Structures are given as structure tokens and as C-alpha cells.
Amino acid sequence: MNKHIPFRFYKISFLIDKRSLITITSLTLISIVLMIVSLGIGQMQISPIEVVKALFNSSGDMENLVVQSFRMPRILLAVLAGAALALSGAILQGIIRNPLASPDIIGITGGAALTTVIFLAVFSDRSNTLTLSIHWLPLASFIGAIALGFIVYFLSWKNGGITPIRLVLIGVGIAMAVQAVTTMIMILGPIYTASRANIWLTGSLNGTNWNEIISITPWILGMIFILFIYVRRLNIQELGQDLSINAGGFVQKDRFTLLLLSSALAGGAVAFAGGIGFVGLMAPHIARRLVGSAFGSLLPASALIGGIIVLIADLIARTVFMPLEVPAGVFTSAIGAPYFIYLLYRSRNQ
Amino acid sequence: MDAITTNTLTLGYGDEDIIKDLDLHIPKGEITVFIGSNGCGKSTLLKSLARLLKPKEGSIVLNGHDIAHTSTKKIAKDLAILPQSPVAPEGLTVLQLVKQGRYPYQNWFKQWTEEDEEAVNYAIRVTGTEDLVDRKVDSLSGGQRQRAWIAMTLAQDTDTILLDEPTTYLDMTHQIEILDLLHDLNEQENRTIIMVLHDLNLACRYADHIVAIHDKKVFQQGDPDTIITPQLIHSVFGLQCQVTCDPICGSPLCIPYSKGRHMKGVNNDETTVNKQPIK
């Protein structure tokens, strides 16, 4: 068993998988390099070395301003939102025991979208000006994500518990219904609302500022901390209901908490970055290929890959069509949709 | 002493009862096999004994404690169940799977103690899965996969082990291999084994105690040598057969009457052929 390192210290003991440790370390390094490179690319090109210098001084010159005030928050948001969506997807895939599950597909992001357009429709006056500060928008989408998570959960409830297959079917159904209502509100609402909502729905990181980072960071990190405690339970959940009960797990209680956690993570991401599609599906899946199914490795790997995907998507979104800016969600969906079809195709015989 | 007793146990899904008012005593340290026709409720009964299914009425007592009032973690240290054809998550390795058997003994800080390592190594050794530890469960053959699952069940280190048709989908060699392993666990470590088996002749070979389930009740139970008779098989399975002696083990051997290709020289007496109407 030289592929594993037992770690024992006083009463603490773990078994560390060497390969996963190496993969996760590499992914972390790739993320950092990508962040630095990405900080330098834009209308004003800055070399990676200059970026690092600009990060650690406060000279107030142009490079310093661009890197620290304009690009840094945006890049941090890309990484955080990507990580949150990926974790949300990884949790869902674990409790539903299906690699095709993701917050987009069972409607959690759809719930966030609905409350967002409702927010824009309700708080706009006749001259299309918002009557409430736009800063409340993330709260609205967050409430939507959690509420939808709850609705799907309770509708899936039957005979004292939820079953994964009911959760998926009801999730897909609710997602459709929610989408229909969202579209209806956008059509009936003022034009300003429609275009604004549309950009947000596709997922755009344009105009991110430090205030948003300050609001989202504790939220996401808090959720990641709770998730960290739940790793063991996720592992046992993934063996299915009978074997979780056999091992002494609290299946229904854990399913509820994990679904809530998944909604909260997706809600947090969607609230600040919009509906960046398919990250919750792709990232955990790629991570599973790299580090396997044990959540101790799968969760960190998924989070890092999710961050990398959104980072790259946003880099393309803001540079390729310069000076025009395209929502990052367009690119994640452009890769994600074929990837989803590929997964469906591959699982057709199972 | 009984490993498990049930008191007026009634099981079912919705309004339909599958097992009704069952009082069952399962002896400790023996191999008990449930037999019965498809859908007679033997798997349901096995599940309920492992608290995977809540009884509608009645109670289940494990080692003197009512399982409804015992913490699920405590039960997990006394009793393990391997359901029929379990599915492992994509990409999970055998070691990771077997490790899961230690769940009831672990907490967030203690995930790989020396006892865990010992139990896992033991389970891997007795099931002969040493060479498979780093393989992915979904890439294994049926026999290897079943041994990996049994290793997980053994890592749980329980006195009582329940298995639902552990030999399904296995060829004869692997069936014998798995059943021999269970026999050794019973013989050498005095573990109580309770399982559902479809093959009557293998059930007669390995079981100390057979429970024949029919019509929501226990039709008959006891030592296979005394209870397995053509009458019992006919009543429980609706099948005409002869019972002879297994030339290898001396246990009862059921040979059903049937249609099919008859060997030359064998007297084919029309009257003994199964005349059950086709349902």
C-alpha cells in the first residue's frame, strides 16, 4: 500500500492518497499561475512579473490600480463562483448518485434566476429605474436558490424519505416550470429589465468590485467549512441508502443538510456572478476522472477545476471580442452543453 | 441463545402485508438460510432485520436489545448487511470501498486508526482481494466485485452478517468460493451468518438452519436434513421433486421433475412429470 500515506498524530488519523495529493497540489499551482496571467491580460497588457510586483505594492500607479482595483476582484469572483458551483454539483452528484446531476439541471440556479427577474420587475418604476438598490439583487437570487432547493426536496418526499430518482425527475420538472415563469416575467416586464436580466442570467463577471468579494467570500468559505465536516457522510451517502443505513449513517437527515448546502453554494455563486451554466456538471466530473470518487479528494479537486473553468471562460469573454464584452456563461455553456450530451451518450448503455 | 428474534413482526409496503405476525428465532453462531419462492418476502425480511425497512408492527431484537431503541451506530458495530447486487460509485477503488466498512468506528478526526488498518487488511486478506486494492470497483469481474463487497462487510467487524443472495450472477466456481468463505467465517470465528439463497442444494450444504418462508409466514424451519422433503418443496415452491442424498456432502439434494431432453435408458414415467398448470 505504498500508494497511500497513513497520517497519525495523537488522536487524529487519516489515510492520504499520494496521487490525489499530487493532483490537487498541481491544480492549485495551475490556478495561481492562471490568476496571475489573467491579471495581466486586457486592454492594458501587463507581464506576469509586473503583475506580481503590482500586487504587492501600493504605489498607486496605473498598473497597480488596474491590477488591484479592476482585475483582481473580478478574478477572485471567477474563482470563488466557479468553486462554489463545482462543489454544489459534486454534492448533488453524491446524494443523487448520478454523474449527470447538477444545480442547473435540478433547477436550483433556475430558482435564483426567477427571484432575480421578479426583483427587477417589482422594484422598477415606470421610467425603468430601480426603486431599490441593486445591491439587494444577490439576496433575491440567493433566496430563490434555497427556496427551490426546499420545494424540490419536499415534493420529492414520499413514505418518510426522498429517493434520488424522484429528486431528479421533480427537479427537472420544476426547473422547466420556473424557466417558463422567468421568461414570462421578462416578456411582460419593461425592456430595460429584460436586457439586464438576460445578461445576468447568462452569467457575467463584468463590473465586479471589492464590495462583492467582501460579501461573497465569508459566505462561500463558511459553506466550504461545513462541507469539510460532511465529507465522511458524503462518502457513505454515495454508496446508496441501504448501505448508508447499514454503516450507521443518518441518511435522510444528511441528505437534507447536504441539499441545503448545495443550494446555498449555488445560490451564493449565482447571486454574485449570475447563472454561469454547466460548471456544476463539468467540474466534478473532470475531477472524478483525475482523483476518483472519494470525496476527501474529489471536493477540493472539483472546487479548483470549477475555479479554473470560470477563470478561463471569463478571460475569453473579456478579451477575444475586445472591446466588446461577452458574458462568461456563454462560453461555459458552449463547452458544457456538448459535454453533457457526451456524458449522456456515454451512459446510454448503463 | 438467539442472535436475532422477531416478535409478531409484520412487514409490508403500503397496504399490502408481505410478512404477517412472524415470531422467528435465529440461532447465534450458526448459518441460517432463508428459502422461498420469488416475491415471498425473504429479502424484505432480511432487510428489516438490518433496520433497512421499518416494521409495520412488532419488534426485532438483536442480541437482547430491541433495534428500534438502539442507536444505529451501535447496531452497525454488531450487524452488517450486504444487499443484493450493490452498485459502487464510478471510479471508487477497492481499498476506498473496503475502508467504508469502518464508518461506524470513525469520526472526523479518526479516519484511519491502527484498528481500522488492521480490520481492513484482515478483510482484504480473507477475501483474497490483495491484488485488487487499487483497482476500480466498476472495472472488476462479477466474482472479484462480490469479494470486494464482502470485504467491506467484513471490515465492519460485526458478529452477525446478513447477505442477500451473495452468489447472484456468479458462475459455479465463484459461488462455491464465496460460500466456502462464509462457511470458514462461521466455523473459525463463530460469526452468525444469515442469508438468502436461491439454490436449494447449496442452501442444504451450507446451512445449519433453514427457514422456509411461504404465504407471509414461516412454513417450516430447522435442520436441512430433517425439514427438506418433497412435501415441503411442493408446498413452498409448487414444484414436484425427489430428495436424495448429496453424494459429496451427504446433505439433502433436490432433483426436480421437469420436461427436457431425457437420456436413453432412463424410464420416463409420465405420471411423475410436473403437472402444475402453467400460470
* Residue A53's pLDDT band (cuts 50, 70, 90): confident
Q: Is residue B93 within 8 angstroms of chain A, CB to CB?
A: yes
Whole-number Å distance between alpha carbons of A324 and B185: 71
Note the CATH number of domain B2-229: 3.40.50.300
Q: List all residues of chain B from 155 to 184 with a beta carbon under 8 Å from chain A.
A: 156
pLDDT tens readout for residues A223-279 = 999 998 899 999 999 898 899 999 998 888 998 899 889 988 998 888 888 878 889
Residue B254 forms contact with A (CB below 8 Å): no
- Distance between CA A308 and CA B268 in Å, rounded? 75
Closest alpha carbon to A280 in A2, A113, A90: A90
**How far A52 CA lies from chain B's nearest CA (Å)?**
38
Asked if B52 has any chain A CB less than 8 Å from its own CB, the reply is: yes
Give contacts of A10 with chain B, Cβ < 8 Å.
none
Could you tell me the sign of the dihedral formed by the alpha carbons of A182, A184, A186, A188, in that order? negative
Residue-wise pLDDT tens digits, A3-34: 788 888 877 888 888 889 999 999 999 999 99
Distance CA A286, CA A181 (A): 33
Contact B109, A11 (CB under 8 A): yes
What ipTM does this complex have? 0.88
Query: Which pLDDT tens digit goes with each residue over A113-122?
Result: 888 888 877 8
- How confident is the model at residue B241, as a pLDDT? 93
- The rounded Cα B267 to chain-centroid distance in angstroms is 38
Please name each of the domains of chain A with its CATH number: 23-349 (1.10.3470.10)
Give mean pLDDT, residues B217-225: 93
pLDDT bin (cut points 50, 70, 90) of residue A2 is low
State yes or no: pLDDT of A182 exceeds 90. Answer: no
The Cα B182–Cα A243 span in angstroms is 20
Whether residue B91 and residue A236 make contact (CB cut-off 8 A), yes or no, is no
DSSP 8-state symbol, B23: E
Q: What is the pLDDT of residue A165?
A: 77
DSSP B273: S
Percent of chain A with pLDDT over 70: 93
Q: Compute the average pLDDT of residues B130-155.
A: 93
Q: Which residue has the higher pLDDT, A39 or A274?
A: A39
Question: Which chain B residue's Cα is nearest to A233?
Answer: B103
Distance CA A285, CA B227 (A): 54
Counted residue by residue, chain B has a size of 279
Q: How far is A56 from A72, CA to CA, in rounded Å?
A: 12
Alpha-carbon distance B98 to B103, whole Å? 10
pLDDT tens, B257-275? 988 877 665 555 544 555 5
Contacts of B133 in chain A (CB under 8 A): 1
pTM score: 0.88
Residues ≥6 apart with Cβ < 8 Å to A53: none
Q: Which residue of A has its CA nearest to B155?
A: A247
Contact at 8 Å (CB) between B230 and B244?
no
Chain A residues with a Cβ under 8 Å from any Cβ in chain B? 1, 3-4, 6-8, 11-15, 94, 97, 99, 160, 229, 232, 235-236, 238-243, 245-250, 288-289, 292-294
Whole-number pLDDT of residue A282: 92
The answer to whether the CB atoms of B72 and A1 lie below 8 A apart is no
What is the grid cell recorded at B203?
442452501
pLDDT above 60 for B58: yes
In this complex, is the C-beta atom of B269 within 8 Å of any C-beta atom belonging to chain A? no
**Closest C-alpha to B5, from B90, B64, B71:** B64
CA B82 to chain A, closest CA, distance in angstroms equals 8
Identify all chain B residues contacting A245, using CB atoms and an 8 Å cutoff.
50-52, 72
The residues with which A160 forms a beta bridge, in sequence order, are none
Max mean pLDDT among A191-205, A285-299, A317-331 falls in: A285-299
Look at B89 and A97 and tell me if their CB atoms are within 8 Å.
yes
- Cβ distance of A247 and B156 shorter than 8 Å: yes
